[in-house]
């Protein structure tokens, strides 16, 4: 998703706001409604699915806010395949408050470095990437600072585990329902390229005319030639950037969570486990309308580093219906890779950092 700032479109993500129930009464002002309809008619990814002239006639013929809201919501849903939304200014604020208060998306999303419900071999590192939502009530400079802090938090989890004993990594996106993708992408950035000198393109947006690449290079994430977020220490590298990576995904993985799945797809020595994702692997732009309300405008399809992706559900390499099964099969695959072809030197509890030796 992207936010318009001083005429420049900078990509962000805010898809998890879709979980909010639509209010019946709030509707955009007439100027904002025309602005919104113009954007949808000319830029929405699936704009051909709506008869825009008929919609304008129906809206003009009704003075019932409830019916107007239903007409607008239905047209946005069809033009964006369910990924877009119109929200009043109050709905945006209330949506953030509800998410931050207890539905799993917080200003600083949880990220763990050790197993919780499922045991993990001591030779493997784990990072669980949860949803992240920027606070729309903050000035943009403070939002960006919070995004950098979240990305650094994720990277710090990697660095704490990167002590020489890890032969492979698990990236858990099973509960990532969306949000702002850039802190997530930067947070797992050290794992993305697969080789110290590997290609820096890790994904793309496609707007039916051209591919716009996502890059991880010089310790920062870029869209095309525009840097978005940089790590505090851009020179730091994993001890083994070529270690294999297993990706956990589920039917809850959506939007920017799907973006991270795609960013790791096609990486050398990577494999995904779980169930197909939710199917919102499309990019939204966040547009503030003239009355202060917000349109989430779906205008691009997300693709992986090889240009593969159609905006729908992402099927894992290995189907595993249950979370425990996905974790088990991911570990089996990682430990069978050449980098992990050995045994721990001793038993250890969760999160222990032990040296490991290769099989003779």
For the segment 232-267, what is each residue's pLDDT rounded down to a tens digit?
Answer: 888 899 999 999 999 999 999 999 999 999 999 999
For the segment 68-126, what is each residue's pLDDT rounded down to a tens digit?
Answer: 999 999 999 999 999 999 999 888 877 767 766 654 444 333 444 433 457 899 999 99
Alpha-carbon distance of 219 to 233, in angstroms, equals 7
Burial 212-244 (b: 16+ CB within 10 A, else e): bbbbbbebbbbbeeeebbbbeeeeeebeeeebb
For the segment 111-120, what is each residue's pLDDT rounded down to a tens digit?
Answer: 444 334 578 9
Is 60 exceeded by the pLDDT of residue 352?
no
More confident residue, 137 or 189: 189
The lowest-confidence range among 57-71, 86-100, 148-162, 183-197 is 86-100
């Amino acid at each position: 998703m992207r936010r318009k700032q001083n005429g420049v479109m900078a990509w962000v993500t805010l898809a998890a706001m879709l979980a909010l129930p639509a209010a019946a009464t709030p509707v955009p002002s007439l100027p904002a409604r025309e602005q919104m309809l113009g954007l949808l008619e000319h830029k929405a990814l699936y704009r051909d699915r709506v008869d825009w002239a008929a919609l304008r006639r129906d809206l003009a013929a009704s003075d019932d806010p409830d019916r107007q809201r239903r007409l607008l919501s239905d047209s946005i849903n069809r033009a964006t395949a369910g990924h877009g939304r119109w929200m009043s200014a109050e709905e945006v604020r209330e949506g953030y408050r509800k998410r931050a208060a207890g539905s799993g998306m917080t200003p600083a999303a949880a990220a763990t470095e050790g197993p919780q419900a499922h045991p993990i071999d001591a030779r493997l590192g784990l990072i669980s990437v949860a949803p992240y939502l920027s606070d729309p009530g903050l000035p943009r400079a403070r939002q960006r600072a919070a995004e950098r802090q979240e990305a650094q938090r994720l990277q710090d989890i990697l660095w704490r585990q990167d002590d020489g004993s890890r032969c492979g990594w698990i990236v858990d996106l099973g509960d990532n329902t969306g949000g702002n993708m850039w802190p997530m992408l930067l947070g797992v950035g050290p794992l993305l390229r697969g080789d110290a000198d590997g290609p820096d393109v890790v994904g793309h947006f496609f707007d039916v005319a051209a591919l716009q690449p996502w890059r991880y290079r010089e310790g920062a994430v870029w869209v095309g030639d525009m840097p978005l977020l940089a790590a505090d220490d851009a020179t730091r590298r994993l001890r083994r950037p070529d270690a294999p990576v297993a990706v956990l995904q589920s039917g809850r993985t959506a939007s920017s969570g799907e973006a991270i799945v795609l960013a790791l797809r096609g990486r050398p020595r990577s494999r995904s486990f779980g169930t197909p994702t939710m199917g919102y692997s499309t990019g939204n732009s966040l547009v503030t309308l003239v009355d202060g309300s917000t349109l989430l405008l779906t205008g691009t399809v997300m693709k992986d580093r090889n240009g593969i992706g159609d905006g729908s559900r992402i099927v894992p390499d290995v189907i595993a219906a249950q979370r425990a099964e996905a974790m088990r099969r991911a570990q089996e695959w990682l430990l069978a890779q050449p980098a992990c072809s050995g045994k721990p030197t001793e038993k250890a509890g969760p999160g222990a950092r032990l040296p490991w030796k290769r099989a003779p």
